[in-house]
């Protein structure tokens, strides 16, 4: 695939999907140096394919965030979060709600695990205040509510924790959880 440029020229979307499969395989088998190589190639390819910029961002971000979590490199993930959020805002209209909500959840998880409760609560605020997520991704929304409670507890904001606990309970009851 890397040597044969035919697919990338004849079917850019097909090439993107093939690269995504390589990335997933390398990530799942913990071949992280290969993941970095494939990500660089995919992103280089994406610069020549403006119509695929958002999906390539989605693929790369999904892989990167998952690796930060899988390897417990939370501080590394936190270092990249500002640029990821900037790109999330840029590509929001072209990303599926599933990707959008999962990226914000994973960013929140990384920030919480890194001990940056302010960043965790900020990204959770975006996640929990988006009605599209509440309606179409109740599983991620509910997990976000629970992560918010943990973040409030860990940050020592016990006065807010009690109020948010009641609010989370009502939200979960309304969702049938």
Average pLDDT over residues 95-123: 96
Average pLDDT over residues 82-106: 94
pLDDT of residue 11: 80
pLDDT band at 177 (very low <50, low <70, confident <90, very high): confident
pLDDT of residue 51: 85
User: pLDDT tens across 35-55, in order?
Assistant: 998 899 888 888 888 788 899
Average pLDDT over residues 128-135: 92
pLDDT of residue 43: 87
For the cut 70, the answer to whether the pLDDT of residue 98 exceeds it is yes
User: pLDDT tens across 2-32, in order?
Assistant: 566 666 677 888 888 888 999 999 999 999 9
DSSP secondary structure, 7-49, as one string = HHHH-HHHHHHHHHHHHHHHHHTT-HHHHHHHHHHHHHHHHT-
Place of tokens 């959770």: 124
For the cut 70, the answer to whether the pLDDT of residue 1 exceeds it is no
For the cut 60, the answer to whether the pLDDT of residue 69 exceeds it is yes
| Both tokens assigned to 152 | 């409030």
CB 147 within 8 A of CB 105: yes
pLDDT band at 81 (very low <50, low <70, confident <90, very high): very high
CB 64 within 8 A of CB 94: no
pLDDT of residue 16: 87
For the cut 90, the answer to whether the pLDDT of residue 161 exceeds it is yes
Nearest to 91 by CA among 135, 127, 55: 55
For the cut 60, the answer to whether the pLDDT of residue 139 exceeds it is yes
The fraction of the chain above a pLDDT of 70, given in percent, is 95
pLDDT of residue 115: 97
pLDDT of residue 6: 63
């Amino acid at each position: 695939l890397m040597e044969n440029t035919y697919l990338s020229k004849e079917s850019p979307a097909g090439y993107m999907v093939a690269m995504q499969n390589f990335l997933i395989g390398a990530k799942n088998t913990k071949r992280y140096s290969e993941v970095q190589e494939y990500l660089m190639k995919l992103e280089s390819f994406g610069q020549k394919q403006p119509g695929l910029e958002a999906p390539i961002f989605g693929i790369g971000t999904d892989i990167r965030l998952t690796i930060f979590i899988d390897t417990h490199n939370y501080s590394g993930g936190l270092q990249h979060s500002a640029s990821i959020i900037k790109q999330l805002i840029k590509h929001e209209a072209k990303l599926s709600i599933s990707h959008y909500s999962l990226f914000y959840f994973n960013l929140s998880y990384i920030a919480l695990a890194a001990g940056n409760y302010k960043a965790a609560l900020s990204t959770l605020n975006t996640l929990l205040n988006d009605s599209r997520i509440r309606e179409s991704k109740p599983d991620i929304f509910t997990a976000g509510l629970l992560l918010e409670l943990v973040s409030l507890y860990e940050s020592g904001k016990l006065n807010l924790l009690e109020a948010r606990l009641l609010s989370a309970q009502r939200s979960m009851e309304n969702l049938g959880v």
